[in-house]
Amino acid sequence: MKHLEIFVDGASRGNPGPASYGVCILKEGGDGYIEFSEYLGHATNSIAEYEALIRGLEEAKKMGAEELDIFTDSQLVARQFSGVYKVKHENTRERMARVRKLENGFKRVSVTHIPRSSHPGNKRADRLANIALNRAGK
C-alpha cells in the first residue's frame, strides 16, 4: 500500500492579491521531496491553500498513492476538510467539491493543521509558494 505525506501551502500578498501555492510530497522512504509551485494570479490566501491541496491530491493520484497524510498551516482548510467548519463561500465550495471528488480515489486521506515552522516539509511548501510569487514579480 503506497502511503504519502504531502505538505501544502498557499500565499497571497494583499489577501486578496497576487497568489500562489507550494506543494512538497515526501518521497516514499523519506528520501527527499517532489516539489511543485504555481502562480495563480489574483486570489485570497484561502483559495491559494485550496489550490495547493487540490494539486497535492492530483499528484498523489498520478503517483498511485492509496493513503495520504496531508499537512497544512491553514487551520481553516484543515477544519473545513474535517467538517468542523462549514464551507460558506461559493468559490471555496467549488474547490471543496473538487477536493471531495479527488478524495474518493484514495483509501484514506487526512488533512492536518500544523504550524508553518513545525516540519521541514511545511517550510519548503511555504518557500515554494513565495518563490512562485517572486518569479511572477509580485
- Chain centroid to CA 45: how far? 11
pLDDT at 1 over 80: no
Full residue range of the structural domain in which residue 35 is found: 3-135
What is the CATH classification number for the domain harbouring 115?
A: 3.30.420.10
The domain total for the chain is 1
Give Cα separations from 116 to 1, 38, 40, 54, 89 (angstroms): 29, 19, 21, 19, 25
Mean pLDDT on 45-66: 97
Residue 105's pLDDT is 94
Residue 79 identity: R
Model confidence band, residue 67 (pLDDT cutoffs 50, 70, 90): very high
Mean pLDDT on 1-6: 90
pLDDT in tens, 77-95: 999 999 999 999 999 999 9
Mean confidence (pLDDT) of the chain: 95
Q: For residues 82, 62, 46 and 30, what is the CA-based torsion angle, rounded to 10 degrees?
A: 80
pLDDT at 69 over 70: yes
pLDDT in tens, 5-50: 999 999 999 999 999 999 999 987 888 899 999 999 999 999 999 9
Residue 119 identity: H
Give the residue with greater pLDDT, 137 vs 39: 39
Residues 6+ apart with CB under 8 A from 31: none
Strand partners, 71: 7, 112
